[in-house]
Amino acid sequence: MVEALKKNPAWKGRKGPVVLVIMDGVGYGKYKEGDAVADSKMDHLEALKAKSPHTKLKAHGKAVGLPSDEDMGNSEVGHNAMGCGRVFNQGAALVSQSIASGAMFAGHAWKEITAGVKDRGTLHFIGLFSDGNVHSHLDHLKAMIKQAKAEGVKKVRIHVLFDGRDVGETSALEYLDPFEAFLKDQNTGGFDAKIASGGGRMWITMDRYGANWPQVERGWKVHVLGEGRQFASAREAVETYRKEIPGIIDQDLKEFVIAEKGEGGKLFPVGTIEDGDAVVYFNFRGDRALEITAAFEEDAFDKFDRKRRPKVCYAGMMEYDGDTHVPKRYLVSPPSIDRTMGEYLAATGVRTLAISETQKYGHVTYFFNGNRTGKFNEKLEDYIEIKSDIVPFEQRPWMKCAEIADKVIEAVESLKYDFIRLNFPNGDMVGHTGIYQAVVCSMEAMDIQIGRIAKAVEKTGGVMVITADHGNSDDMYEHDKKTGAVSLKSDGSPKAKTSHSLNPVPCIVYDPAWQGEYPAKPGEGSLNEGLGISSIAATCIQLLGYTPPEGYDTSALKL
């Protein structure tokens, strides 16, 4: 339990609430070409920026707890940082440290995983097949395969989920070919490791927040049951789907099963999951790991017909939900995030609303609260989830931003809440499609809603803080790292970039009822500079009239 926040006696108060607007995936672009944010007509955001103090915040790399400043930020670590006001080492760094030190392989979970399959059975690995370092990293998979072989495991099967979001949209073969060479080098002395199944991350297995269970079912069928279109190799599957579906990108590649000829010349899947096997889901990030984990672990599972549920020793790379302790077995412990902003606000009696649509609902609740499910105080906190459409985001680029704004405006004008936090997913979810026109549409749709919320804030005498968790829509084209030139496809058009960016994000403090407590001259310079998004927590706490807790990162306000 934390103590209540201390009042700032110099704060003169505001009649309305503090509203934190998180524009998911919206940063300041480095390049003019491909910056869909700058290309969009965002009159409301620009007007607020012109009359408010603002600065740029770091939202990637070490500023959000990732190993290096070459690592892109993501929504999970971004919301962790904003919600807890400090920087904790995050998934990729923790896993890499655990492997390097040997702690993972000395742990009880790894020993359980390998012990049961040394003499018989198969060790299966399922996960995102790239080095994007957002959900997973291939180096982690390779290290585990090497260790399994060293410990006497004889048979390994890998079920690959092609990326195309955190890395190049059609880069699958750039990862696949070297990995097949790696497996060939490992397959000596009776060791047998093969790719068994796969597909694109947005087509199989990696759904989140219960938005699309059929996606998980497709993954279950190919990984576990071996049901699906058969190919001789993963490369053949990728090349075939690219020929059959022009323009398809890796994240949408259809499911496939690798098969070999058995007795009588009949084709058999090389790696179904059977009783006595072991399974490691090697993604370290939790949001897109919970559903496939439930399919393996839950007795009363009712989301789809599993047909059969093999009795396996299952482990996740990390604990994906610290409150419900899912999965039961995990290889690396996640950071212990305590003293979050939400906990302090509840202890202080601050009335709070958190709202987004399904795609980012968990970010303004679970991740913002330090990977904690549930509320700190049921009486003081309300959470609202607007159900997302289950359609490709480029077909509905406005997503649910209007519905979110409707609820927020109602909440602001009711004066029921002191602090409201919301997430507009548009810049991230539509940005990942790589469809430039759709991203511009999504930005302009979101801008209209920001303008509406600003009017409600002004009407009630509140404050609005506008920021983002990372960049994405600000960097929609691939660029040559040395020259900065746009990379082109064979037809001469720009090559789309579907991953996050390394760009800074906005911090705009719109305070129409400002009473002189801090410098508020419009433009840059009135706010502290050189900060990361972890500063958002202290900033909001100060705007609520309290003193930030000891150890919190510096506020953007010069108070």
Looking at the annotation, which residues are catalytic?
75
- Could you tell me how many helices (H) and strands (E) the chain has, helices first? 17, 18
Peptide bond into 519 cis (omega under 30): no
52: its two tokens = 């408010």
Give the separation between CA 520 and CA 502, rounded to whole angstroms.
28
363: its two tokens = 């970010």
Coil, strand or helix at 424: strand
Radius of gyration, alpha carbons of the chain: 24
Hey, CA dihedral for 221, 225, 229, 235, is it positive or negative? positive
Instruction: Provide φ and ψ at 315, rounded to 5°.
Output: -145, 145
Buried/exposed 532-544: b ≥16 CB within 10 Å, e otherwise: bbbbbbbbbbbbb
Start-to-end Cα distance in the chain: 27
Give the separation between CA 84 and CA 71, rounded to whole angstroms.
21
Give every CB contact of residue 332 below 8 A, 6+ residues apart in sequence.
Answer: 94, 95, 98, 103, 104, 284, 317, 318
Cβ 494 vs Cβ 33: under 8 Å:
yes
Residue 183: how many CB atoms within 10 A of its CB?
18
Give every CB contact of residue 526 below 8 A, 6+ residues apart in sequence.
Answer: 53, 518, 519, 520, 558
Angle between helices 91-101 and 138-150 (to 10 degrees): 30
